[in-house]
Amino acid sequence: MATKTEMMIDRLYTVNTDAEIPQSRKTLGRLILWAASALVILSFLIEGLFKAGKISFGYENWQPVLYAVMIWCLALGVFLVMTKGESGKKLLFVLPAFLFTVFMVIFPTIFGLYIAFTDWNLSAFEGQHFNGADNLVHMWHDPYFWNALANMIYYTLAIFVEYAIAFGLALLLNAEIKARKFFRVAFLLPFMLSPVAVSWMIGKSLGEYRFGPLATLARHLGWNQPAFFSTPGLARTSIMIMDAWTYIPFMLIMLLAGLQAMPKEVQEAARVDGATGWQAFWKITFPLMLPVSITAVILRVIFKLKLADIIINMTAGGPGGATDSVTSFIFREYRERSNVGYGTMLAFVYLVFIILFVTGLLKIASRWNTSGQD
């Protein structure tokens, strides 16, 4: 009980004047909120009835409803300040971001759930119909979706290699070197480039079969047919390498910050005790870096699960779906077949997988973190 009340106390103490708010002010605040709510309901009704053909006046799109909702949000802020005083003013800090996220995520998600259970196809003449679990059944028998999910596992596993490289580079940058700033900027640059440009710069230009420098280099090294996107395995590896190229800097910077925050005395103590560099790394540096490493890897996994741009622009999922990520597959499902209903269902199934996977990952990570501190 004590902890519960403690939790409700602000860290920044303020004088509470809520009791002094006159009743008339509270009533006015309520009136404003009621008026705004009425406005939203009214605009919604007019628009809905107009679209349904029941009344003859209305607007050609739903934008007025959007404005009404925005006015309602403002009214909510005014209402909070007028009725709750100081604590209302405190709520105003978090309210804009909160309302924005709720409106931008919750409503589309609810709407998306509805779409997911329809056979909506943009190229079909009749509108959408509720079709129950048909999309789920279709998904169950769709080898390309499961193939894309399997690809995501490969792509995610590639993070371990990226992590090893990033850690190695972070160690190098943390060593006593000259021109550290130059190297840091150079190493950061790939992260700044748009994946679309990268897929042209590396995939289509550097890796061009006949005269790209990468192909030429491969020929010099004894590989006669350096076609980087010909076989499924090769194509997948090439996508992984391009994605790694853009995102290694991300992990590298986080790991470098972790290394720099580590107290120097620990390393020195290990050296005094006669540990070799290898031992010092595995017994001291690596365990101390575990929390930072876990944060970096989890963030990287989250970004990896959204992987699509490079695939859409480089291989469009080919050859034979070998490089498809779930996102790029759904993108084409919509772009090429206009299957909005089915695509949305796939996206929601993917979301469920992601939530389960990331929650599991966080659980494991927190267990590791606590056991590491013992």
Partner 1 sequence: MTSLTDTIRIADVAEEKDTSAKFYFGRFFVYGALTLWTIICLFPIYWTLSTSFKVAKDVQKGAIVPWVGYMPNWKGWQSLGLSPDTIVRPSTVRDEFFKRFFNSVITSVSASLLAVLIGSLAAYGLSRFAYKIGWMRNKDISFFFLSQLILPPVVLALPFLALYKELALLDSTIGLILLYTLMVLPIVIWIMRDQFGGIPIELEEAALVDGLSIWGAFFRIVLPLAAPGMVAAFILALVLCWNEYFFAALLTSTHATTVPVMVASQTGSQGINWWSMAALSTAAIAPLVVIGVFLEKYIIKGMTAGSVK
Q: Residues touching partner 1: how many (CB under 8 A)?
A: 104
**Sites for partner 1 among residues 240-299 (CB under 8 A):** 245, 250, 253-254, 257-258, 261, 291-292, 295-296
Instruction: Please tell me whether residue 147 binds partner 1 under the rule CB under 8 A.
Output: no
Rounded to whole angstroms, how far apart are CA atoms 238 and 185?
Answer: 25
Residue 121 bridge partners (DSSP): 339
Instruction: Please tell me whether residue 43 binds partner 1 under the rule CB under 8 A.
Output: no
Which own/partner pairs from 323-330 qualify as long-range (CB within 8 Å, at least 24 positions apart)?
A: 323/151, 323/232, 323/235, 323/236, 323/239, 324/144, 324/147, 324/148, 324/151, 325/148, 325/151, 325/152, 325/155, 326/145, 326/148, 326/149, 326/152, 326/350, 328/148, 329/144, 329/145, 329/148
Sign of CA dihedral 45, 49, 50, 52: positive
Measured from the CB of residue 317, what is the shortest distance to partner 1 in angstroms? 14
Q: Tell me which stretch binds partner 1 (CB under 8 A): 18-26, 106-114, 154-162, 224-232.
A: 106-114
Q: Toward partner 1, which CB reaches closer, 36 or 47?
A: 47
Q: Toward partner 1, which CB reaches closer, 159 or 305?
A: 305
The binder of partner 1 chosen from 238, 285, 315, 327 (CB under 8 A) = 327
Measured from the CB of residue 132, what is the shortest distance to partner 1 in angstroms? 19
**Sites for partner 1 among residues 113-132 (CB under 8 A):** 115
Q: Please name the residue that has the structure tokens 């090429």.
A: 336
The binder of partner 1 chosen from 13, 57, 125, 278 (CB under 8 A) = 13
The binder of partner 1 chosen from 184, 284, 290, 318 (CB under 8 A) = 184
Q: Tell me which stretch binds partner 1 (CB under 8 A): 189-197, 232-240, 265-273, 363-371.
A: 189-197
Q: Which residues of 347-358 are buried (b: 16+ CB within 10 A; e: fewer)?
A: bbbbeeebeeee
**Sites for partner 1 among residues 196-225 (CB under 8 A):** 196-202, 204-206, 210-213, 216
The binder of partner 1 chosen from 16, 34, 100, 337 (CB under 8 A) = 100
Q: Toward partner 1, which CB reaches closer, 27 or 209?
A: 209
The binder of partner 1 chosen from 30, 41, 74, 109 (CB under 8 A) = 109
Report helix, strand or coil for 339: strand
Q: Toward partner 1, which CB reaches closer, 57 or 211?
A: 211
Rounded to whole angstroms, how far apart are CA atoms 198 and 183?
Answer: 20
Q: Which residues of 175-196 are buried (b: 16+ CB within 10 A; e: fewer)?
A: eeeeeeeeeeeebeebeeeebe
Q: Toward partner 1, which CB reaches closer, 55 or 186?
A: 186
Alpha helices, H only, the chain: 2-7, 23-51, 63-84, 86-101, 107-116, 134-140, 143-174, 180-192, 195-198, 213-220, 232-261, 264-272, 277-280, 286-304, 309-314, 326-337, 340-373
The binder of partner 1 chosen from 74, 153, 177, 356 (CB under 8 A) = 177
Q: Toward partner 1, which CB reaches closer, 27 or 181?
A: 181
Measured from the CB of residue 236, what is the shortest distance to partner 1 in angstroms? 20
Instruction: Please tell me whether residue 8 binds partner 1 under the rule CB under 8 A.
Output: yes
Measured from the CB of residue 1, what is the shortest distance to partner 1 in angstroms? 15
Cα 258 to Cα 105, 175, 180, 315: the distances in Å are 34, 13, 16, 37
Return the DSSP state at 137.
H
Q: Tell me which stretch binds partner 1 (CB under 8 A): 60-68, 154-162, 221-229, 266-274.
A: 60-68
Instruction: Please tell me whether residue 37 binds partner 1 under the rule CB under 8 A.
Output: no
Q: Toward partner 1, which CB reaches closer, 27 or 188?
A: 188
